[in-house]
Every structure is written in C-alpha cells, then in structure tokens.
Amino acid sequence: MNMCFTGMFTVECILKIAAFGVRNFFKDAWNTFDFITVIGSIVDALVIEFGERFSSMPSGGQLGEKKENFINVGFLRLFRAARLIKLLRQGYTIRILLWTFVQSFKALPYVCLLIAMLFFIYAIIGMQVFGNIALDADTSITKHNNFQSFIQGLMLLFRCATGEAWPNIMLSCVKGRPCDAKAGKQDGGCGSNIAYAYFVSFIFFCSFLMLNLFVAVIMDNFDYLTRDSSILGAHHLDEFVRIWAEYDPNATGKIHYTEMYDMLKNMDPPLGFGNKCPNRLAYKKLIRMNMPVDVDLKVNFTTTLFALIRENLNIKVRRASERNQANEELRDTIRSIWPLQAKKMLDLLIPRNEEIGRGKMTVGKIYVCLLILESWRTTRFGQIESAGQVSFSLITVEKYKKKWKTLVIFFYSNKGTSVLHSYSIRFIID
C-alpha cells in the first residue's frame, strides 16, 4: 500500500514539474512541500526494501544470525503522515479555517504574555510559602513536583493548569506538613492554609479565564473573517486562480474581455461581482478598473487581479480627471515598498498612462459604451420619458486595428441621465 501511494505521488510530482517547469513549480510553497514529501517517501520505501534485504544477509558466516539495519531511518515514516497535510489546500472551508488560525497568531502573543505573568507571580508566591515542604513520595510533593525552585514551581503550576490532581497537590501544601532538612525549621511547621485560596484562585484565573482567551481570540478572528464578506484574504486569491484556470486552461495568462466579465459574474464577492450583481453596477466597476486590452482583445491575469483588489479596497480610486495622478502616486508607493519586485511587475500591476490613454483600447472604454447604450435602451423602451424636446448627438468610438465596428451612442439631455453620459463621454475622449 505504501509503495502504491508513493508511486502515485511521484507520478503527480513529475507531471506537475513537466507542466509548470522547474522554476515555476518551486515558486509555490505547496509544490515545494509536495516535492519534499515525495523525496522523503521514496527514501523511506527504498530504505525499507533494501534495508530488510541487507539485514537478512548472514553475518560472520552463521546463517541464523541477522544484521541490524545499517541506519535508523524511522523518522522517514513521518512523510507518510505528511501527505494528509495536502488536504488543507483542497477545501475552501478548510483554507478559511487555516487562514483564521494564522491570523490569530497576531493576537496570541499578548495572551501568552498575560499567562506568563500569571505563572510568574504564582510561582514566586509558591516558592515563598510552600518552598520548605519536605519531599515525600507518598504525597503529591515529590522531587519532580515541588516549589523548591522557580523552574519546578512553573512545572507544578503547569500541571495544575491541566487539571491533573490539583486538589491532591493543594492538600499536600496545607499547614502542618513536615519541613525539609535544609529549611532549618521544626518538623510540622511548614505549609500554610493559604494553599486553599492559592490553588483555587490559580485554577480559576488560569483554567477558566486565561486559557479560554486562546479560544476567544480564534473565535473572534473566525467571526470577523466570515461575518463580513467584503474582507479580502489569501483564500480569495486561490479562488480567483481556480476560476481563471477554467477560462484559461492553457495557462496563457490572458483571457478575452467577454470571458473576463463572465468570470467575474460567476465569482462571489468580495473579489468578484456575483450572479446577482446588476449589469449596470458591474459596468461601472469595470469602467473604474479600466484594464488595457491587447490586439486580441484579451486582458492580463496580473492586471485584472490587481485592478479587482484596488477596486474592492478603494486604493487610490478617484475621478477620471484625477486617475492619471492617482496611478502615478500608487506606482511611487509600490516602488518605495517593494523596489525589487516593482522592476518586474509594476507595469503589469498599474499600466502606464500611455497604455490606457488616447488611441488605446481599454476595458473601461468598452464598457462605458455598453453602459451608455443600455441606459439609452432603458430610457427609450423601458421607462416613460419626461416631457419636452429630446435632443441627441452621435458619438463614434475609435476603430481598434480594424477589429471594431463604429458604434453609435445616443446622448440624452434628459434629467437623470445627462450627468452619467457626459462623464462617460469625457472618459472616452480622454
């Protein structure tokens, strides 16, 4: 059974390396973990196979005598159990729980510090009050369980915090216990009735309050991360990559802008739009995102992902007239925080103004036209027009390397649509 699963994981690892390439394969931490697990499993299988043969060989010419294994590699069997860790990245709910646990580490050090202070105070008090009690194997105060030193006191308190026979330890510290020979006190004069209040208060503070703070911190983070669906997390990136792969099975890093729209509609918020998102609202978000499209009318993976994050977190999102300035400010910020990564990724994260300016086709220009056209259709056929003369003018959208037909958009002067349409037209002209 072990050989069978080892072979399956080995074939999977080889296929991944062949598909992604060596460099891209090891960029993912999970792939690196899988590779180490596979290597460890292979070594484990080989050692078990050849180690048994080596140990079965006769030693010193005597047939009945066997050699011991030439090396103890029992720890390699841990790689078998490590395969189960791969399940953590399979389920969406499991990834949320894992991310919640990781986020909880930010607050757990403060809880640990509070518990350490409690242990420190009670250990010092225990040394002063119960440190002279004689060690007796028939009681709970033994050479491994006493207050004669600070370290031993901490170990005893930790045992009490787990709830292991703490009443017996308390009764072994009450007044009238024999004293240690080094204490210089008369026999029967050690211990104190303060032990009742000492141990009961420690168990109350530690077991019922302090240790429960761990659970409280984790539950608070879980509730915070699951209550508000607008919070972006690492698991949303995995979801985006998974859905993008469905539209880009060849891993080209680009998809058509219409497929991008369908993808965002099928992706739940906060990263996507969701199936229930109205088209007009989705168009407005895409106008603000304004990713450039290439000659094949495709958008880039990195550009789309960063535009979605920027839109959802409202990072330097301003009006159309101030967009270029906001882009430059954000580019400068990224350069200052990640100078090395910015040299390679900056133009993908935030396209230059020349790539989205006049004469260049972008997603924003495409969907602003669709937004105006849908507004015209709604006003013309779906709503009652207000009284008065309706005037309109014709606006043509630039031809993009002969792939675009001339689109006629009607601009109404009716109240309620003029502001939206005039903004959209300025966006097209800019």
pLDDT confidence of residue 154: 93
Helix (H) / strand (E) element for 8: namely: helix 2-20
pLDDT of residue 187: 67
Domains of the chain: 1-54+72-90 (1.20.120.350), 107-226 (1.10.287.70), 234-369 (1.10.238.10)
- Side-chain-side CA neighbours of residue 235 (13 Å): 24
Q: Is the pLDDT of residue 84 over 80?
A: no
pLDDT tens-digit readout, 109-139: 888 888 899 999 999 999 999 988 888 888 8
Question: Which residue would you say has higher pLDDT here, 221 or 255?
Answer: 255
The amino acid that residue 245 corresponds to is A
- For 32-157, strand residue ranges (E) read 58-59, 62-66
pLDDT band, residue 157 (cuts 50/70/90): very high
Place of tokens 């395969």: 83
For 174-190, the pLDDT digits (tens) are 988 888 877 777 666 78
Check residue 119 and give its pLDDT. 93
Beta bridge partners of residue 145, listed in sequence order = 142
Q: What is the pLDDT of residues 85-110, one digit of tens each?
A: 766 666 667 777 777 777 777 778 88
Span of 7-16, 124-133, 317-326 with lowest mean pLDDT: 317-326
Going by DSSP bridges, is the β-strand pair 408-410/394-396 parallel, antiparallel, or unpaired? antiparallel
What percentage of the chain exceeds 90 in pLDDT? 13
CA distance 69 to 51: 6
Q: Across residues 152-175, what is the average pLDDT?
A: 90
Cβ distance 72 to 86 under 8 Å?
no
Q: How many CB atoms lie under 10 A from the CB of residue 429?
A: 8
- Reported as a pLDDT band with limits 50, 70 and 90, residue 199 is very high
Over residues 73-92, the mean pLDDT reads 66
Percent of the chain with pLDDT strictly greater than 70: 74
Mean pLDDT of all residues in 196-215:
87
Pair 262, 244: CB distance under 8 Å: no
* pLDDT above 80: residue 328: yes
pLDDT at 201: 93
pLDDT at 92: 64
Question: Identity (one letter) of the amino acid at 132?
Answer: N
Determine the average pLDDT of the residues in 141-164: 90
Residue 124 and residue 169 in contact, taking contact as beta carbons nearer than 8 Å: no
* Residue pair 247/290 in contact by the 8 Å Cβ criterion: no
CA distances from 294 to 342, 363, 401, 406 (A): 22, 10, 11, 19
User: Could you write out the three-class secondary structure of 374-425?
Assistant: HHHHHHHHHCCCCCCCCCCCEEECCCCCCCCCCCEEECCCCCCCHHHHHHHH
The least confident of 88-92, 143-147, 300-304, 360-364 is 88-92
Highest mean pLDDT (candidates 49-53, 77-81, 297-301):
297-301
Closest listed residue to residue 380, CA positions, set 414, 421, 425, 407: 414
pLDDT in tens, 332-369: 888 888 888 777 888 888 888 777 776 678 888 888 88
CB–CB of 327/350 below 8 Å?
yes
Q: Which of 363, 354, 360, 348 is nearest to 324 (CA)?
A: 354
Q: What is the chain's mean pLDDT, rounded?
A: 76
Distance CA 366, CA 381 (A): 23
Report the b/e string of 98-120 with b at 16+ CB within 10 A: ebbeebbeebeeebeeebeebbe
pLDDT value, residue 188: 67
What is the tens place of the pLDDT at every residue in 210-241?
778 878 887 877 776 666 555 676 667 878 88
Model-level pTM?
0.48
